Amino acid sequence: MELDNLCVNTIRMLSADGVERANSGHPGMPMGAAAMAYVLWTRFLRHNPTNPKWPDRDRFILSPGHGSMLLYTLLHLTGYDLTLDDLKNFRQWKSKTPGHPEYGLTPGVETTTGPLGQGFAAGIGMAISERYLAARFNKPEHVLVDHYIYGIASDGDLMEGVSHEAASLAGHLGLGKVIYLYDDNHISIEGSTDIAFTENRLARFKAYGWHVQKVDDGNDLNAIEKTIGEAQKKIGKPSFIAVRTHIGYGSPTKQDTSAAHGAPLGPEEIQRTRKNLGWPADSAFFIPDEACDQFRKAKEKGEKLEQKWLETLSDYEKAYPEQAKEWHRFVNRNLPEGWDSDIPVFPPDSKGSATRISSGNILNAIAPKIPSLIGGSADLAPSTKTLIDGEDDFQSTHFEGRNLRFGVREHAMGAIMNGMAIHGGLIPYGATFLVFSDYMRPAIRLAALSGLQVIYVFTHDSIGLGEDGPTHQPIEHLAALRAIPNLTVIRPCDANETVHAWRLALNNNKGPVALALTRQNVPTLDREIFGAADGLYRGAYILSDDNADNPDLILIASGSEVQIAIEAAQKIREEGAAIRVVSMPSWELFDQQPKAYRQQILPEEIKARVAIEAGSSQGWHRYVGSRGRVIALESQPPGMNGFVGITGSDDR
């Protein structure tokens, strides 16, 4: 026990020292949660610090990302590629230890956390991936996938609505590989949680269908170990363990107060804390040799665990060579050869079909060849056309199903897809109406920030959806999504552009892609007359052109408004003008093109330009210029129906 206490206090003091040196951060959470983190990381967590990407490692999520010094301290102590100097550079520019953990920046950080509740929900997505991959690949004598999703959650995580949504779904699905430790310290930024958070959290999670336990003393290592062991035995239920901790544990004047939450302890208080914990005075970033040796056992243990798994994989490759090849495709995110060979080419059709329907046909043409593609909708599959025909639902009794029933839980759906993508092995997609992308925005932003391959299928993309009225008719939503860096938004104009939108989304592993699709029919253009649909890959391309060198007017449109631009061009041509029509399905893709191509499509010398889109005009002016015009929707009167209200953004 003496060594254990020494190790726990090492975590506490390193975390406090990092915050103190940065003069910024949150020391209280790491100090209070140090004991349960120590038990989890030294007695349960199966990981290999030498190879943070070992596929069958356990995952650990620090959902309250503000307590990041706890995670960085554990990573350094157990031997990850994170030095003591990195800890000293906490919260500094270009450091590997930012204020909140960032996926892809720091070795061992499994997901970006900070916006509370996001890590909690992402862990549920990781567990879905684990169960699907286990069901698909494991054999009785060769188990490739068998790991836990551990996490620490805070009061703030449980207050955020996304955790409610995710916990409800996890309980329904019986995701027994989820074990979350709740840092029940009773303190938030404004003071005691009694001022705003008084429900029975244990009863809440029990009602969700979770296995619930409680540890009264957050420093009782044996009790913590016992509850985690019990949680592992509950195969068919996720586990929630409420651990009564004390924020800022060891600080003589700030323990159990909000003063320990979001500010350094201060020079005098940190000295008093060292004395209180029996720590050497004036010993910032001190690591006792005995504690270091204890933590570093994780390296040898982890290497042995991975080596044993590699032997299992080798045996699997010999016994099941074809499935082994598929396993490697999944893990390496490679698409199988010929995956897109069955995608239809849609013939010209003046009536056409809604791009959501075309999308559904495309999805079902590619899904049989890409078994790593798995997803669903927020209870809108009949409308979004996102069910995979012939596949079962993913349920507690059938983890091989590829149709995910997220329920009416858009926010959790977004965060869960992030976890699925981060886990590795799967390409997740999720669908809802475009107007409800607002519910998903925090998760979409994190997907973009983390560079995750997530596909959003947003249907009913304009007021063209009709009778549902203004509550369901998106106006500002395309502009809002386009404002998110590293999110590629694609609004195809017809079935064949939708084909290429899906192709791009499945080949793009650098960030998320949002498809904005119509409810109403749009014509399928005759590509013998109009520009080839694969121009979509360049974001914008010429559909028709009367004078390639010097058109009198350029009409630019996206999605369902492309047909309006085509019809308008025909009428204007009757007056003798030379018109160029440009389909611009994706601003982001167009902006990535060389300047010469962008100049070819939108020559600087052609000032007469009109952009048409049934949404906000925000952002379009960069393409039409100061003398151009945007025909868009700037307001939406109550009861507006059809395209009444589309107006120019100015009088020019």
Residues 6+ apart with CB under 8 A from 77: 10, 11, 14, 287, 291, 292, 295, 296
Do residues 125 and 423 touch, judged by C-beta distance below 8 A?
yes
Instruction: Summarize pLDDT for 121-147 with one digit per residue, the tens.
Output: 999 999 999 999 999 999 999 999 999
Q: Answer whether residue 651 shows pLDDT above 90.
A: no
DSSP 270-310: HHHHHHHTTPPTT-TT---HHHHHHHHHHHHHHHHHHHHHH
Quote the pLDDT of residue 639: 44
The share of the chain scoring above pLDDT 90, in percent, equals: 95
Alpha-carbon gap, residue 246 to 183, rounded angstroms: 9
The amino acid occupying position 650 is D
At 269-301, the pLDDT tens digits run 999 999 999 999 989 999 999 999 999 999 999
Residue in the block written with tokens 């929900």 = 121
Residue 84: the pLDDT is 98
The Cα–Cα gap between 124 and 146 comes to 15
Q: In which region does residue 639 sit, left (phi positive, over 0), alpha (psi from -120 to 50) or beta (all else)?
A: left
pLDDT digits (tens, 9 = 90+) for 346-404: 999 999 999 999 999 999 999 999 999 999 999 999 999 999 999 999 999 999 999 99
**Residue 395 DSSP symbol:** B
Catalytic residues: 410
Q: What is the pLDDT of residues 447-471, one digit of tens each?
A: 999 999 999 999 999 999 888 889 9
The answer, yes or no, to whether residue 474 has pLDDT greater than 80, is yes
pLDDT in tens, 189-233: 999 999 999 999 999 999 999 999 999 999 999 999 999 999 999
CB 583 within 8 A of CB 558: yes
- Confidence class of residue 119 from pLDDT cuts 50, 70 and 90? very high
* pTM, two decimal places: 0.96
Q: Tell me the C-alpha to C-alpha distance, in Å, between residue 504 and each of 98, 175, 275, 326, 384.
A: 32, 32, 59, 22, 19
b/e per residue 34-67 (b: at least 16 CB within 10 A):
bbbbbbbbbebbbbbbbebebbbbbbbbbbbbbb
State percent of the chain over pLDDT 70: 97
Q: Give the whole-angstrom CA distance, residue 489 versus residue 447.
A: 13
The pLDDT assigned to 640 comes to 41
Q: Return mean pLDDT, the chain.
A: 96
Q: For residue 644, what pLDDT band results from cuts at 50, 70 and 90?
A: very low
Which residues, in sequence order, are bridge partners of residue 541? 583
Residue 334, both tokens: 């490679």
Is residue 637 scored above 90 in pLDDT? no
Q: What is the pLDDT of residue 547?
A: 76
Closest CA to 380 of 422, 327, 338, 439: 439
Residue 645 banded pLDDT, cuts 50, 70, 90 = very low
H or E element, residue 325: helix 321-332
**Which domains, and CATH codes, for the chain?**
2-302 (3.40.50.970), 349-524 (3.40.50.970), 540-648 (3.40.50.920)
